Amino acid sequence: MFALRGIAVSLTCFVLLYCLLSALVAIIWRPLKLLHVAQQSVADLLFELRILPLLASVVITFALVVPSFQRLEPRSIDEGMGIMPLTLGVWALLLIAYGCFSVIAAEIRSTRVVTRWLEGARPLKDNAGSLVAFQSRREAPPLTLVGVRKPRVVVSECTVALLSHDELCIALKHELQHMKSHDNLKKLIFRCCPFPGMAKLESAWSEASELAADDAAVSNQSDAVDLAAALVKLSRLAPVEAVPVCTVSFVAGSLSRRVEFLLAWDEASKARRVRIRTWFVVPLVVAASLLVAVAYGPVLAFTHEVTEWLRW
Amino acid sequence: MLQELWSHGSATVRELLADGKIHQAYTTVMTTMDRLYKKGLLDRVAEGRAFRYTPRHTAEELQRGTALESIRQLLGSGDPSSLPLSYLVEALGTHDAQLLDELQRLVERKRRELQGGELKNRSKPREQS
């Protein structure tokens, strides 16, 4: 019973912290989009903010809630389990199960889709660095980076026929940047931490990571124009649909923003773009850890007090 | 309404309302039946100035189909853009032709500018010499 109560209280704290922090993140992330810094920094900050609720709630649960219960809770067998820890504990378990299921389902779907695209595919002659690229014979998207552990690029036959050699090379370099940034892994991690209202943050991260990959792939204006040309050409591969007026600016915004960014690209502006190094977080984390280590006893006592009222 | 249709086998809107189990207005029921027909859940044949509707599936078939569709959507062939895959161009098929033409023109103009600049740079040393 003691162990069960401990698990229920820990899960309750975890889910409450997770929901509170997620709600907070869903409200406060928007100003990050307006930062005048390199897009890679924007993408990194958005990613860190997106996974912060999960990380923080796991760390606090395992570093404070579990030890405080183990050390300070009297091992009385008479105390029953309240309705709140029971309900929230079940909720937490459902949340964890949903996160795991989402990851597994995404992996299964990805494997299925990629297997279909790679049927009869052959290695691509034009390659970029350490990228393994395949020319798909099946109906596949124009150019896609697939896989988390062994990333590969699938290029459709139409893409090979449509793009010039230079355009294809720079497009492959763009995918190489996604591979270096582990963007597919990040997409999978997003699925581990489901929360309503995070779709816009993920969409902003996606747009920032595309711009960052564009920026990192090009090294001169000619590359930038080739990449912009490749973007426009590949957008034409898909059937053009009539889009409701109210959604055109938003949906098309991403493509036009990327093309405009590339056409205005030059070496000087790239050098001027400020990159926020996230190592500044390290001293903060070390300081917080030291503070908790020094005052661990009182912090545990405080945590125990806080968790006490969660047990009815 | 589907429940009522399943119990009747087939019915017109007026027959459904005549039972008194459905309390909506005639036009509401008519619109809903029309939507269910367009979604492929009902069949209909003209009967005078009205339609006679028949359910295309039994209750069990519909429930089984809904469950299978949910599982298929979760594990199967949903929107590939939601998968952990990185596309060079996302949201394909949602760009309108005019925008693409405009972007194409911008790219070509920039390319001409760059080529013009290169030609000028090449011709400058000759002029100087």
In the stretch 72-91 of chain B, residues with CB closer than 8 A to chain A read: 74-78, 80, 82-91
Model pLDDT, residue A73: 81
A135 in helix, strand or coil? strand
CA A250 to chain centre: 21
Output the CA angle A34-A35-A38, nearest 5 degrees.
Answer: 125
In the block, residue with structure tokens 């909506």: B24
Q: How far apart are CA A303 and CA B30, in angstroms?
A: 61
Q: Which residues contact A287 (CB under 8 A, 6 or more apart)?
A: none
Model pLDDT, residue A225: 93
C-beta atoms surrounding A237 within 10 Å: 16
Put simply, the answer to whether B87 touches A141 (Cβ < 8 Å) is yes
Model pLDDT, residue A238: 58
Average confidence (pLDDT) over B33-54: 88
CA-based nearest residue to A18, from A195, A227, A219: A195
Whether A268 and chain B come into contact, CB under 8 Å, resolves to: no
Model pLDDT, residue A157: 85
CA-based nearest residue to B100, from A166, B91, A265, A223: B91
Model pLDDT, residue A81: 72
User: In this prediction, what percent of chain B has a pLDDT beyond 90?
Assistant: 8
Put simply, the answer to whether A254 touches B90 (Cβ < 8 Å) is yes
Model pLDDT, residue B129: 45
Chain A: closest CA distance from residue B67 (Å): 16
Question: Chain A residues with CB inside 8 Å of B91's CB?
Answer: 251, 254-255
Point out the least confidently predicted range of A168-172, B1-5, B117-121. Answer: B117-121
Model pLDDT, residue A245: 26
- Is the domain B2-55 a CATH 1.10.10.10 member? yes
Taking chain A (312 residues) in runs of 10, the rounded mean pLDDT of each run is 85 93 92 80 90 93 91 74 84 92 86 84 69 72 83 85 90 89 89 87 88 90 92 73 29 69 82 72 85 87 85 64
Question: Chain A residues with CB inside 8 Å of B104's CB?
Answer: 232
**Could you give the residue ranges of the DSSP H alpha helices within chain A?**
2-28, 39-60, 66-72, 83-118, 157-162, 165-180, 183-192, 199-217, 221-235, 245-263, 267-272, 281-294, 296-308
Q: Is the ipTM here above 0.85?
A: no
Residue boundaries of the structural domains of chain A = 2-311
Question: Chain A residues with CB inside 8 Å of B110's CB?
Answer: 225, 228, 263
Tokens standing for B59? 């209750």
Is residue A51 within 8 Å of A186, Cβ to Cβ? no
Point out the least confidently predicted range of A117-131, A140-154, B14-28, B50-64. Answer: A117-131
Q: How confident is the model at residue B125 (pLDDT cuts 50, 70, 90)?
A: low
Q: How far apart are CA A126 and CA A147, in angstroms?
A: 20
Q: How far apart are CA A178 and CA A131, in angstroms?
A: 11
Is residue A22 within 8 Å of A95, Cβ to Cβ? no
Q: How far apart are CA A127 and CA A135, in angstroms?
A: 11
CA-CA distances (angstroms) from residue A24 to A57, A85, A91? 13, 23, 19
List b or e across B48-59, with b for residues whose CB sees 16 or more CB atoms inside 10 angstroms. Answer: eeebebebeeee
Model pLDDT, residue B88: 67
CA-CA distances (angstroms) from residue A264 to A1, B107, B110? 65, 11, 9
Which site among B85, B102, B112, B113 would you substitute to test the A interface, given the most A Cβ atoms closer than 10 Å to its Cβ?
B85
A37 in helix, strand or coil? coil
Put simply, the answer to whether B92 touches A243 (Cβ < 8 Å) is no
Chain A: closest CA distance from residue B29 (Å): 29
Is residue A171 within 8 Å of B88, Cβ to Cβ? yes
Average confidence (pLDDT) over B4-31: 88
User: In this prediction, what percent of chain B has a pLDDT beyond 70?
Assistant: 68
Q: Assign 3-class secondary structure to B13-29.
A: HHHHHHCCCCCCCHHHH
